[in-house]
Amino acid sequence: MTIPTDFNDIRVSAVMPAFNEAATVERAVRRLREAPLNIEIVCVNDASTDSTGGILERLQRDGVVDRLLQHPKNLGKGAAVRTGIQAATGHVIVVQDADLEYDPAELPVLLEPIRQDRADAVFGSRFQAGPRRVLYFWHSVGNKLLTLLSNMFTDLNLTDMETCYKMVRADLMKSLPLVSDRFGIEVELTARLAQAGARIWEVPISYNGRTYAEGKKIDWRDGAAALWHILRFNLFRPKRGPR
């Protein structure tokens, strides 16, 4: 797929996985719609048990959401991301969480290296001097350790492997043999991009992390699982070719 050189001609598919995000999902979708981009919003309701599904259905009827997919049972973030990737029709794909920790107004910054044909994928780094909410010390330590371990296997010099903001050319993204169902998707995406020889850039982004009281879902168990995923996706490559 050829990426247009004119910024306004590039269609960006924003994939939003959502599970029980009724408090923030509408604001997140509307913030995406306000982003200065030619944007397609693809939402995946991962069998939410609150009103998230109903909110997204209303937003689709109102023309704010372009595509809405519903999982009949909860499968996890990775599965929702994979569903959204396959449904996306844009030139590039980016994942936008529904919790407002990442600012859609910064997506044009991620797009620029791809538009200039300098990158196939761009990571938004929370640790490259962008403004951020000050929260948990051990989360920061954990992220940096996981990034270091991932870099040792991929031979990349990333500063933030676990970032949600990974913008990738759609043809490349759709070719990656992704299998993660849950939060291992960030590790797997990084490993598969490295294995594909993708040109990867990093740009600084801001970050407004949530507290656990505000609904943050990741804890130490996800960090422990990420260690296994780093080994799994870097040491054991898929036996079949890209789908």
The CATH number assigned to the domain holding 196 equals 3.90.550.10
pLDDT at site 214 = 47
Weakly modelled stretches of the chain, pLDDT under 70:
129-139, 209-220, 222-223, 239-243
Rounded Cα distance between 104 and 90, Å, is: 16
**Structural domain boundaries enclosing 68:** 7-235
pLDDT value of residue 241: 45
Q: How confident is the model at residue 213, as a pLDDT?
A: 53
Rounded Cα gap, residues 50 and 55, in angstroms: 10
Residue 70: name the closest of 61, 58, 89, 83 by CA.
Answer: 83
Residue 1 inside a domain? The answer is: no
Question: What is the predicted pLDDT for the residue at 16?
Answer: 98
What is residue 208's predicted lDDT score, i.e. its pLDDT? 79
Q: What are the C-alpha distances in Å from 148 to residues 88, 110, 208?
A: 31, 22, 23
C-alpha distance from residue 221 to each of 22, 77, 79, 149, 231 (Å)? 24, 15, 19, 17, 16
Number of domains in the chain: 1
Name the token pair of 198.
């993708």
243 found inside a domain: no
Residues recorded for the chain: 243
pLDDT at 229: 87
Residue 18 carries which DSSP code?
E
Task: Give me the pLDDT at residue 139, please.
Answer: 67
Residue 31 in domain = yes
What one-character-per-residue DSSP string does 213-227 give? TTT----HHHHHHHH
Gyration radius (Cα) of the chain, Å: 17
The model's pLDDT over 65-122, given as tens digits with 9 standing for 90+, comes to: 999 999 999 999 999 999 999 999 999 999 999 988 899 999 999 999 999 999 999 9
In a domain, residue 240? The reply is no
Is 92 among the domain residues?
yes
**Cα–Cα distance, 193 to 180 (Å, whole number):** 14
Per-residue pLDDT at 227 = 83
* Whole-number pLDDT of residue 129: 65
Residue 126 counted as domain residue: yes
Q: Percentage helix, strand, coil, to 5, in the chain?
A: 40, 15, 45
The residues near 235 (Cβ < 8 Å, ≥ 6 apart) are 153
- For residue 2, being part of any structural domain is answered with no
Assigned domain for 90 exists: yes
